[in-house]
Structure 1
Amino acid sequence: PRHQVDVIITEFGIAELEGRTIRERARAMASIAHPQFRDELLANAEMWPKD
């Protein structure tokens, strides 16, 4: 389905999401976000259940 994304590519990197938990996906996406927002996104990623 279109809503299931396996890979996200930005100018800051590549996040491979296939087979990851929600928390792992959030961490991976935060790691390729603009550096200005990374710390906040990584902190928010920790609020997700460990699955």
Structure 2
Amino acid sequence: AGVTTTRAHVHYIVTEYGAANLFGKNYQQRAKALIDIAHPNHREALERAAYKRFKNLY
């Protein structure tokens, strides 16, 4: 039997650059939290993409 889950089930994401608590956050808040723990070389591109998607990230 397969296991199915949704993005709403994820509470924490941990990388070598930090941990993000995603529980109860909207899409913009989730994006900001994930960008904050992304590899530093990728954060600028991720911020641009998030701004393009949401028009306002902060």
Q: Report the TM range for the smaller structure's normalisation.
A: 0.7 to 0.9
Q: How many matched pairs? A: 50
Give distance in 1, aligned partners of 2:44 and 2:55.
19
Which residues of structure 1 form unaligned runs of 5+? none
Higher normalized helix content (fraction of residues): 2
Q: Which moved more, 1:12-21 or 1:40-49?
A: 40-49
User: Which of the numbers 33, 39, 46 marks the counterpart of 2:38?
Assistant: 33
Q: How many angstroms does 1:49 deviate by?
A: 6.7
User: Which of the numbers 10, 29, 42 marks the counterpart of 2:15?
Assistant: 10
Bigger relative contact order (CA 8 A; separation at least 6): 1
What do you get for the CA RMSD once the two structures are aligned? 1.9
Return the TM-score normalized by structure 1: 0.79
Q: Percent identity?
A: 36
Give distance in 2, aligned partners of 1:36 and 1:9.
17
